[in-house]
């Protein structure tokens, strides 16, 4: 679903801004953000 959403998003942007590397940045961000959330919950 994530890949489909990113592809649809890039299509809808339609060149209005540079999406170079967007897919890779998002795929790197998701696990990092999940780990950040887990560590935050562990400290609570």
Full domain range(s) for residue 13? 2-43
Query: pLDDT (tens digit, 9 = 90+) per residue, 1-44?
Result: 999 999 999 999 988 999 999 999 999 999 999 999 999 999 87
Q: Are 39 and 30 in contact (CB under 8 A)?
A: no
pLDDT for res 44: 74
- Dist. CA 12–CA 41, nearest whole Å: 35
Can you say how many angstroms the Cα of residue 44 is from the centroid of all Cα atoms in its chain?
A: 26
If one counts the domains in the chain, the total is: 1
pLDDT for res 33: 95
Place of tokens 């795929």: 27
């Amino acid at each position: 679903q994530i890949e489909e959403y990113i592809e649809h998003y890039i299509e809808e942007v339609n060149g209005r801004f540079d999406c170079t590397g967007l897919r890779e940045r998002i795929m790197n961000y998701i696990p990092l953000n999940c780990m950040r959330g887990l560590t935050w919950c562990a400290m609570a």
